[in-house]
Structure 1
Amino acid sequence: MKGRLEITFDGLRKRRQKALIAYLMAGDPGLPETEQLVLALEQAGADVIELGVPFSDPIADGPVIQQAAERALRNGTSLRKILASVTSLRQRTNIPIILMLYYNSIHAMGCEEFCRAAKAAGVDGLIVPDMPPDEAGPLKIPADAAGLSLIFLLAPTSTADRRKLVAKESHGFVYYVSLTGITGAKLSNVEDIQHNVGKLKKVSAAPVAVGFGVSTPEDAAQVSKVADGVIVGSAIVKRIASHQQDPAMIGHVAEFVRSLKAAMAVV
C-alpha cells in the first residue's frame, strides 16, 4: 500500500508538476502557529511539509534556522509536543509531513517508541542529518516496521558508490543538498545541480528533491526544471521571523509560498 509521500509524487508526475516541500521549524513562534502555517501553506501550494524539531546543537543548520530552533526551545517545544501537533493536524489535512530531526532527540525517546509514536501521530517520513545510511541500523528496523520513510541526504561531493547507497536506502525521495555548506547559503551553479541530479536519477528509483540555497521564486523555477522536488527552508523561516509581531504573519508567509509554487509551474 502506497503512503502519502508516494501518492503525492505519483500524482504530481502524472500532472507533469514538481513537488514544493516547505520547511517550518516546529514551535516557531509557537505550536499553534505552526499548525496554522501548515494548513495555510498547503492552501498556498505546498505539496509536502517538513517540520524541523528544535535541537540545541544543529550541525546542518545555518543561523536563520538555528535562531528559529532557539525560539522554539524557549517556547517549551519538545518532540512529544510536536507529535501531538501532528496528531491534531491529521484531523484537518492529509498533506505528507516529514520530521527533520537530529538523532539525539530520537535516542532520548528510544528508536522503537519514537517510530511507533511518530507513525501513530501521522508522520510519513524522517530526515536525520547526522545519521548516514550506513549507520542507520538502529533506526532503520523500527522505522521500516512502523512504515516510516527514511530520507537520506546526498552531497555534491558524494562518490558514485555513495550515490548508489543513498539511492538504495532512501524512501519517499532522495534529499540532494545543492551545496557543500549549511542551510541558508546562496544557491550554487544550477548546471552543477543538473549534472549531479542526473547522475543520481540514473541509480535512484525514488524521486530526487533539491534543498539548501533555494530562496526565491527564480531559484525554485530553475531547480524545478532539473529535479522532482524543491525544498525551501531558510527563506520561509526568515519571513516567519521578520513578521513575528504581525497579526498577518501567516498570510505573508503563505503568499511567499504561493509565489514559489507559481514560479515552479513554468517549466
Structure 2
Amino acid sequence: MSKLFIPYIMGNSSFIQNLKMLSEAGADIVEIGVPFSDPVADGPVIMDAGKKAIEEGISVNYILEQLTQHKADINSNYVLMTYYNIIHHYGEEAFFAACEDAGVYGLIIPDLPFELIEQMKLRHPERKVKIISLVAMTTAKERIEQIAQHAEGFIYTVTMNATTGENGKFHPELKQRINYIKSISQVPVVAGFGIRTTDHVADIIEGADGVVIGSEIVRRLDEDDNATSRQYFSGIRHVLDA
C-alpha cells in the first residue's frame, strides 16, 4: 500500500517552482511554510530559510496570490504551515476565504493548542480549509483521544521532543504511539521531524501512513541542482510505494 509523501518547502520567491517540481515528483501533499519572525517549532535550517524569505520581502499575501494564480497547474494538495499571529493580523474570516480561493487544503498552526483550535473551528463552521492537528510524544492518551476524535485531513505525529531538523533521533516509543493513534483515528497518521534518508522513511512507515520531510528538502532545494533534487524525491517516493 502506497504511503503519503508530504514534503515541506519554505514559502520564498522560488516556492511555486519548487511546489510544481514536488507535485510532478509524486508528492501527495506539500507543506508550505509561511515565513515568520519567531518560528518556535523550527530548527536552524528552516529558521534560516524563513529569515531569507522575509529578507526577500515574502509575505503571506504573496504566497496566497501566487497559489491563486498557479493552482490549476498543481496536482498535489498543499497546506500552509503558519503561526497564529499571521492569521490574527490577517483576520480569521478573511484568511480562511483567501486560503479557499488559493486552493489551500489545510492549515498547520503549531503554536495553537487543541482547545483554541476547536474554538476556531466553531467560529468558522462553513470553512472548507482543514485544520491539521499535531500530536507530540509528550501528549497524554486522554488528549490524544480528543485530538483524534476531532481530527481533519491527517494527524501529524512529531517523532521526537525537539524542533525540526534533528537527524533520525526518533523517540523510542514512536511506533507504539503511532499504532495507538491509528487505532482510534479516522484520518491518516503521518510522522515528521528528523526524517532525512530512505532508511529513515522505511523505518517510520512500518507504522505511519506517511512521512513529512522538511529540513532535508529545504536544504537540498537550496544546495542541489534540480536533477539531484528530483533523484532524491524519486528515491523517497519509491520507498513509500514499495
Provide TM-score, normalisation by structure 2: 0.95
Q: SS where residue 77 of structure 1 aligns?
A: coil
For 1:124, the aligned partner's letter is: Y
**Aligned match of 2:241:** 265
**Aligned match of 1:11:** none
Q: By how many angstroms is 1:146 displaced?
A: 1.8
Distance 1:189 1:62, change over 3 A: closer
C-alpha contact (below 8 Å) 1:217/1:259 kept by paired residues:
yes
Distance 1:102 1:80, change over 3 A: same
Distance 1:77 1:138, change over 3 A: farther
Q: SS where residue 255 of structure 1 aligns?
A: helix
**Aligned match of 1:4:** none
C-alpha contact (below 8 Å) 1:173/1:207 kept by paired residues:
yes
For 1:112, the aligned partner's letter is: E
1:178 aligned residue (142, 156, 159): 159
For 2:6, the aligned partner's letter is: I
**Aligned match of 2:207:** 226
Q: By how many angstroms is 1:225 displaced?
A: 1.9
1:220-242 CA-to-partner distances (Å, cap 9, x unmatched) read: 11112211111000000011222
**Aligned match of 2:89:** 108
1:120 aligned residue (98, 101, 118): 101
**Aligned match of 2:63:** 82
Query: Residue 26 in 1 paired to residue 7 in 2?
Result: no
Distance 1:63 1:201, change over 3 A: same
**Aligned match of 1:146:** 127
Distance 1:66 1:143, change over 3 A: farther
CA distance in 1, matches of 2:161, 2:76: 30
Q: By how many angstroms is 1:190 displaced?
A: 7.1
Task: Write out aligned runs for 1:1-267 (5 A).
Answer: 16-27=1-12, 30=13, 33-137=14-118, 139-141=120-122, 144-189=125-170, 192-243=173-224, 249-266=225-242
Distance 1:189 1:83, change over 3 A: closer
Provide TM-score, normalisation by structure 1: 0.86
CA distance in 2, matches of 1:102, 1:155: 17
C-alpha contact (below 8 Å) 1:209/1:231 kept by paired residues:
yes
Q: By how many angstroms is 1:189 displaced?
A: 4.2
Q: SS where residue 146 of structure 1 aligns?
A: coil
Structure 1 stretches lacking a partner, 5+ long: 1-15, 244-248
Q: By how many angstroms is 1:144 displaced?
A: 4.0
CA distance in 2, matches of 1:109, 1:229: 32
The count of residues paired between Structure 1 and Structure 2 equals: 242
Q: By how many angstroms is 1:264 displaced?
A: 2.1
Q: SS where residue 107 of structure 2 aligns?
A: strand
Percent identical across equivalent pairs? 34
CA distance in 2, matches of 1:41, 1:198: 28
Superposition CA RMSD, Å: 1.5
1:151-193 CA-to-partner distances (Å, cap 9, x unmatched) read: 1110111111111111122200000000000000122347622
Q: By how many angstroms is 1:65 displaced?
A: 0.2
CA distance in 2, matches of 1:184, 1:204: 27
C-alpha contact (below 8 Å) 2:137/2:171 kept by paired residues:
no
Structure 2 stretches lacking a partner, 5+ long: none
**Aligned match of 1:6:** none
